[in-house]
Amino acid sequence: MLEIIEKESIDSIVTDPPYGLTSITKRFGKEGSAPTQYGKDGAFSRVSKGFMGKEWDGSGIEYNVETWQKCYEALKPRRIFISIWWNKNIS
């Protein structure tokens, strides 16, 4: 989609991209791994698939500099880009 948006044509961007918690997936969700145990609250089963059980969380878009550069280029001069990168699990 970013390829077809004209440069300097967007007034603002507000996004909450994936968190990219692939370390959880690598530890618990590797192919061939034993099935995760449900546990007391199902947390281990959920984290084995990425943040909040979402497999799309490890897509890599969060670290793709080209994607964020295209977003910046689509913004009109002196406009705003808000990207929320918060994880309540980080202490």
Tens digit of each residue's pLDDT (9 = 90 or more) over 3-62: 899 999 999 999 888 777 665 556 655 677 666 666 676 666 655 666 666 666 667 777
**How many Å separate Cα 61 from the centre of its chain?**
6
Domains in the chain: boundaries: 1-18+60-91, 21-58
Query: Regarding predicted confidence, which is higher, 91 or 16?
Result: 16
Cα 51 to Cα 22: distance, rounded to the nearest angstrom = 8
Listed ranges 21-25, 67-71, 85-89; the one with the highest mean pLDDT: 67-71
| Widest pairwise Cα distance in the chain | 52
What does the pLDDT read at residue 91? 46
Q: What's the whole-model pTM score?
A: 0.58
